[in-house]
Amino acid sequence: MRFLRLLAIVAALAAGLQPALAGRIADADLSARVAALGAGGFDEVETAITDLAATGDDRVPAILDRLGEGELMVRKADGAVFFADKAGKDYRLTDPVTGADAGPAPKATVEKIKVNNRIRRAIASAVGALTLMSPDPAVRRAAAEAVMKSADAAALPALEQAIAVETVPDIRAAMVAARATALLASDAPESDKVAAIAAIADLGSRDALGFLSGYTSADGAVGDAARKAAAAIESRLMLWDMGQNLWYGLSLGSVLLLAAIGLAITFGVMGVINMAHGEMVMLGAYATFTVQEVIRTSWPGLFDYSLLIALPVAFLTAALAGILIERSVIRWLYGRPLETLLATWGVSLILQQAVRSLYGANNREVGNPSWMSGSFSVGDIQVTWTRLWIILFALAVFLALIAVLKRTRLGLEMRAVTQNRQMAAAVGIRTPLVDALTFGLGSGIAGLAGVALSQIDNVSPNLGRGYIIDSFMVVVFGGVGNLWGTLVGALTLGVANKMLEPYAGAVLGKIILLLAIILFIQKRPRGLFALKGRAVEA
Amino acid sequence: MSQIFDRRRTTLAAVLGALLASTMAGYAADDTIKVGVLHSLSGTMAISETTLKDTVLYLIDEQNKKGGVLGKKLEAVVVDPASNWPLFAEKARELISQDKVSVVFGCWTSVSRKSVLPVFKELNSILFYPVQYEGEESERNVFYTGAAPNQQAIPAVDYLMKEEGVQRWVLAGTDYVYPRTTNKILEAYLKAKGVADDDIMINYTPFGHSDWQSIVADIKKFGSAGKKTAVVSTINGDANVPFYKELGNQGIKAEDIPVVAFSVGEEELAGIDTKPLVGHLAAWNYFQSVDSEANAAFIDGWHQFIKNDKRTTNDPMEATYIGFNAWVKAVEAAGTTDVDPVIDTLVGTTVPNLSGGYATIMPNHHITKPVLIGEIQDDGQFDIVSETAPVVGDEWSDYLEGSKDLISDWRKPLSCGNFNVATGKCGGNS
């Protein structure tokens, strides 16, 4: 993304502003070098890029950026290279050096200059070295980072020059780091290299470690310094790794919490072994997809709010489906857990196939709104916005559910009915209605989970399958009938899973966790937080 | 469930019936050649296999427009094994003994193929299997039109070594037979190329793994050792979407750590926003973006048949296309649909593929295929950055201890699928 932004900025620069790098070479000279881009394979293109960068011409960054975008084309007739803009099915060609219009060209007469990762890296490093003196701080920062990545000794003079005039402290720091990596790659004297290693070690980041590891096997003072610095960074990063695993654990725990919290109502509070729970999650995800589709076609400007709009839609869809299932199937089966299990399993298959027939078997793309994309760092922990929002959302749903159960009349009636049905009926509560609403509430919350999960998982008819076992595990482990138990259970399982994964691997980690839960349930059949009292015994 | 099934199947049958009726005027029902289609239309594999069912129907439709085969129209018999492996065997038996089909196109997963194998052997029929697989098999009744590991994995690794200068390798896969075998072959291959043990990281995840945070972080960590690192992914099916999303979220770009995938095609990418993935790679024998006349005609016809010009085409579809045309050609050459002469004629049959070249069925019942490496573009298509000459499918890998002495040749007089050149006997290593 950063690269794209850089491209946009550089393109804007090339279009209007006067670039800072002075100096142009003769048009014919530049044209010849540009034409070299169109000749031969990746090796030749890479050489041509280096040649172009060596000119220091201020038109080069724009040309290279267009190359990176795949907008540089060769005219088959004479091998000349042009900027090509799509015009309908054909292209409109522009001379990259003079900017003169070269007229339209049918698709068959031009050929795109192919770009692969190696070429993209070469472009980034060349453009970086050329834009170090750009008037735009963002471009300079990106340029410094690109040069640092390329660790190219040829960029040293440009870096020295840029560092001398740089005034923004952190861009200057980035340039100094870039100079250090370039120095290491150059044939500078040993003492300079040791100083460069110290400068890189000061960064303390994983990237820095990556650079240093390239020199740990070197002989002499450079190798010694690199080994020492790498060891220091490693021990520092180890602590951060623990923090990172903890964060991942919380994030997984929040996903488990979201998936399980609806089940904590339908299974935990009502005692229905609801195998169709995962499908309620899936319905929520498909509701999100549908909402996004409508928004995309009718009100594209609202896309960033699509998830907020999807929340009530998903809740109502899943809740209505839940009420329908309760009224048509489950209410005939209260007190017969085995039949309920089979019936809801059947319902889950019906729902899956219904969605498959309606939406097709393929995955559906649910987009991330801009405020949920990307990540930021806290120290060395990468925090992705999606995960952060999901954790917050899971907690919000949890608190809202507690509030509904403890503070509203419906919640009171629910608890009354589930604890003592006869007594509740005797005091005038319409138990069938409460049953339906309770099941609807649990299902609706599963639908909400679907909205969140559509952001991290794929939206397919099988979405629910992946969560049903985990959900039951969380509810049983946490203690059936206890919402707080579900919270603690989900977070414990999430953290335990992520702490195990780095050592045992994903497959074995999960097995160990399942074994641990089996042993735990043997010891405490009612889970972490067992409900007490006569209601439970009955 | 069964109700919906029946309804689906009835509608399908009705549509098919109408389709056939419109093209079949003047032919009596037993004047057709029946073609079995054994792909899951429900359950977890429906996501991939439904498309192949449609592809066979499309190819049959096209062939009938050209006048059918041996003067008879083709008639598809579609069954739904519902992603249920034992059901695959039952449905195969039903197709061969009740419906009397002349050939079957079907299966996706290896376990489904293994499940139907005994049936095809016992009842002596022909199966065309259109999906890339782990190799280590060659049966008389099966023709493998998908890639063997040497037609996908090894050229991909070669490309990364040469073009990207990769020295450190993450082999990440879903925990089942195809990734495990492919990774075993790759590991042996990499070590033969001088890659140290420390520079190979192997990681397996369960089916449908959805929380990739720590694994992607591990990959990042593994990649920061001063050497160019790449990920070779045999991650299967649905797990790919969250994996790629996590890569994008954690800011791993293709320029830093490229991922080359063997199970990610145009269909899988349809569920993801590919902008953060530009530059990651896939190795296949066909991409929709292949620039050839045959491909343009195939895509046009497919869009017309399926009545949706947004539908993508993919590698297993090309494999189905090659298998179908090879069978048609062999039947016409043999002048009969009888199984034994057709099997003998199929070996050596050459038909055009969709990438502008030809595919030949080899004596080991695998085919020749060029290997294409494509980079993911922001429109969900692949930009082809490398194409090899046609490679012969190597069913018994040279890089595995147990199979390096084995060859397969179904021509007479050898007629053996696992001939051991060390012992000079047919029958594998025993």
For B327-342, what is each residue's pLDDT tens digit?
A: 999 999 999 999 999 9
d(CA B338, CA B329): 14
Residue B296 lies in a domain: yes
At A16, the pLDDT band (50, 70, 90 cuts) reads very low
d(CA B221, CA A106): 47
Residues B141 and B178 in one domain: no
Helix (H, G, I), strand (E, B) or coil at A452: helix
Give the domain-ending residue among B319, B352, B367: B367
Phi and psi torsions of B233, nearest 5°: -105, 120
Higher pLDDT pick, B271 / A272: A272
At B3, the pLDDT band (50, 70, 90 cuts) reads very low
Contacts of A210 in chain B (CB under 8 A): 223-226
Name which of A154, A213, A149 is nearest A3 in CA terms.
A149
- DSSP letters of B118-147? HHHHHHT--EEE-S--------TTEEE-S-
pLDDT greater than 50 at residue B267:
yes
The answer to whether B273 contacts A384, with C-beta atoms less than 8 Å apart, is: no
Burial of B39 (0-12, 13-18, 19+ CB in 10 A): buried
Q: Answer whether A230's CB lies under 8 Å from A207's CB.
A: no
Give the per-residue pLDDT at A281: 95
For A65-78, what is each residue's pLDDT tens digit?
A: 888 888 888 888 88
Give the per-residue pLDDT at B22: 44
The ipTM is: 0.79
Residue A36 has which token pair? Answer: 């070299």
Tell me the β-bridge partners of B89. none
**Distances in whole angstroms, Cα of residue B287 to Cα of each of A35, A234, A469, B314, B359:** 29, 43, 37, 6, 16
At B98, the pLDDT band (50, 70, 90 cuts) reads very high
Least reliable range by pLDDT among A158-167, B89-98, B225-234, B352-361 = A158-167
Identify the top-confidence range among A207-221, A230-244, B123-137, B197-211: B123-137
Residue B224 lies in a domain: yes
Q: What whole-number percentage of chain B has pLDDT above 90?
A: 63
CATH topology of domain A241-537: ABC transporter involved in vitamin B12 uptake, BtuC (1.10.3470)
Name which of B290, B289, B292, B313 is nearest B301 in CA terms.
B313
At A488, the pLDDT band (50, 70, 90 cuts) reads very high
Distance from CA of A232 to the nearest CA of B (A): 15
Residues B386 and B339 in one domain: no
Q: Answer whether B104's CB lies under 8 Å from B125's CB.
A: yes
Place of tokens 């293709």: B254
For B14-28, what is each residue's pLDDT tens digit?
A: 554 444 444 444 444
Residues B236 and B382 in one domain: yes
At A294, the pLDDT band (50, 70, 90 cuts) reads very high
* Residues in CB range of A62: below 8 A, 6 or more apart: A10, A11, A13, A14, A96
Residues B177 and B272 in one domain: yes
Contacts of A354 in chain B (CB under 8 A): 4
Chain B, nearest residue to A122 by Cα: B255
Residue B428 lies in a domain: no
Tell me the β-bridge partners of A384. A375
Residue B419 lies in a domain: no
Chain A, nearest residue to B208 by Cα: A466
Distance from CA of B211 to the nearest CA of A (A): 7
Place of tokens 């592809």: B55
Instruction: Please give the helix or strand (H or E) that residue B282 lies within, else none.
Output: strand B281-284
Residue B416 lies in a domain: no
Residue B36 has which token pair? Answer: 């079995």
Name which of A44, A36, A42 is nearest A79 in CA terms.
A36
pLDDT greater than 70 at residue B154:
yes
Residues B69 and B48 in one domain: yes
Place of tokens 């079995």: B36
Residue B339 lies in a domain: yes
Within a 10 A sphere around the Cβ of A247, how many other Cβ atoms? 22
Give the per-residue pLDDT at A4: 53
Identify the top-confidence range among A142-151, B74-83, B264-273: B74-83
- Domain extent at residue B252: 150-290+372-392
CATH number for position B263:
3.40.50.2300
| Residue ranges of chain A assigned to CATH 1.10.3470 | 241-537
Residue A519 has which token pair? Answer: 């042993």
Residues B325 and B388 in one domain: no
d(CA B68, CA B57): 13
Give the per-residue pLDDT at B370: 95
Residue B267 lies in a domain: yes
- DSSP letters of A105-136? E-GGGEEEPP--HHHHHHHHHHHHHHSTT-SS
Give the per-residue pLDDT at B21: 43
Contacts of A212 in chain B (CB under 8 A): 226
pLDDT greater than 50 at residue A443:
yes
Residues B180 and B300 in one domain: no
**Distances in whole angstroms, Cα of residue A225 to Cα of each of A141, A201, B82, B183:** 28, 10, 62, 37
Q: Answer whether A348's CB lies under 8 Å from A469's CB.
A: no
B272-301 burial, b for 16+ CB within 10 Å, e for fewer?
A: bbbebbbbbbbbbbbbbbbeeebbeebbee
Contacts of B223 in chain A (CB under 8 A): 210
The answer to whether B276 contacts A349, with C-beta atoms less than 8 Å apart, is: no
Instruction: Give alpha helix (H) positions in B193-336.
Output: 213-222, 240-249, 266-269, 293-306, 315-334
Q: Answer whether A221's CB lies under 8 Å from A194's CB.
A: yes
pLDDT greater than 50 at residue B162:
yes
The number of folded domains in chain B is: 2
The answer to whether B50 contacts A361, with C-beta atoms less than 8 Å apart, is: yes
The answer to whether A501 contacts B276, with C-beta atoms less than 8 Å apart, is: no
Distance from CA of B126 to the nearest CA of A (A): 28
Within a 10 A sphere around the Cβ of A505, how many other Cβ atoms? 18
Tell me the β-bridge partners of A105. A91
Residues B280 and B326 in one domain: no
In a mutational test of the B interface, the residue from A251, A380, A458 whose CB has the highest number of chain B CBs within 10 Å is: A458
Mean confidence (pLDDT) of chain B:
88
The answer to whether B206 contacts A362, with C-beta atoms less than 8 Å apart, is: no
Contacts of A7 in chain B (CB under 8 A): none
Mean confidence (pLDDT) of chain A:
85
Residues B59 and B177 in one domain: no
Q: Please report the sign of the dihedral spanned by the C-alpha atoms of residue A264, residue A268, residue A270, residue A275.
A: positive
Residues B323 and B282 in one domain: no
Give the per-residue pLDDT at B19: 47
Residue B420 lies in a domain: no
Q: Answer whether B146's CB lies under 8 Å from B365's CB.
A: no
Residues B11 and B82 in one domain: yes
Give the per-residue pLDDT at B375: 92
At B5, the pLDDT band (50, 70, 90 cuts) reads very low
pLDDT greater than 60 at residue A7:
no
